[in-house]
Amino acid sequence: MAQQKPRVAIQGIRASFHEEAAFKFFGEKITTIECNSFKQTFEKLQAKEADYVVMAIENSIAGSILPNYSLLLSYNFPVVGEVYLPIQLHLMALPGVKFEDVKVVTSHPIAIRQCVDFFDEFPHLKVVESSDTAACAKRIREEQLTDTVAIANTLAANLYDLEILERRIESNKKNFTRFLILTHHENAKTTGANKASLCFQVSNEVGSLAKVLNILAEEQVNMSKIQSMPVLGKRNEYNFYVDVEWEEQSRYDKAIRQILKYTHNFNILGEYLRYVEE
């Protein structure tokens, strides 16, 4: 019997950076489930209308995507992987359109922000923000807009048959986004995991967080990220989201057992393989 393609829910439409990240993690033999919001991707997973969610969690320029941390905790689906995607932004238009005839540039606000140096040279262009980079490319094709360019990726240019007028217009060429892969609990079987995403609270006392960090250091468990977010409706209470990496599973296990003594509402959001660039 033929293996069914994994159904992967993404925020945005086909040829968006989320689909590019999904291709990088799963290969191109997937069924992409387009969603209007990150919340909707989790709802598709909950309704078993998707097998996986691919969700951006941080960008090297724009920083952490804070609302997505709240979704991790409220839906409690396990993280089973991660992927880092270099963000390469190109200027694209209908074939035959010349840059000097362009009046409008359209893209996602974060993409626009990452190309400010380029647009400083062309102050006459009207900037229009949209919910999705690929949707801007699609609109140019569908509405045959000859005075508009989109900022998007190569996938979008290919899918919507647009011409790239200018490549790599992002200001920082080392710009990347980290995406998390989530699934149902019954799918979450990662062997040889060497990275985990944790969430916990500590008491509001001097040194309580330091105790947790010291335990990690003593067991040679590397903390690669820490993010704090206020607990809704509770003054001076914070959730700490921490990513940790390890070489020896036994030392990680020991660290977790000790951390439990100094934390409350402790959650392992997922244990998975650390992403290594091929």
- Mean pLDDT to the nearest integer, 97-111: 95
| pLDDT above 70: residue 222 | yes
- Domains within the chain, CATH numbers bracketed: 7-87+175-187 (3.40.190.10), 90-166 (3.40.190.10), 195-272 (3.30.70.260)
Overall pTM > 0.85: yes
DSSP string, the chain: -PPPPPEEEEEB-TTSHHHHHHHHHH-S--EEEEESSHHHHHHHHHTTS-SEEEEEEEETTTEE-HHHHHHHHHH-PPEEEEEEEE---EEEESTT--GGG--EEEE-HHHHHTTHHHHHT-TTSEEEE-S-HHHHHHHHHHHT-SSEEEEE-HHHHHHTT-EEEES---S-TT-EEEEEEEE-GGG---TT--EEEEEEE--SSTTHHHHHHHHHHHTT-EEEEEEEEEPTT-TT-EEEEEEEE-S-HHHHHHHHHHHGGG-EEEEEEEEEPPP---
Q: What is the pLDDT of residue 261?
A: 94
Q: What is the pLDDT of residue 205?
A: 85
- What pLDDT digit, counting tens, does each position of 42-89 carry? 999 999 999 999 999 998 888 899 999 999 999 999 999 999 999 999
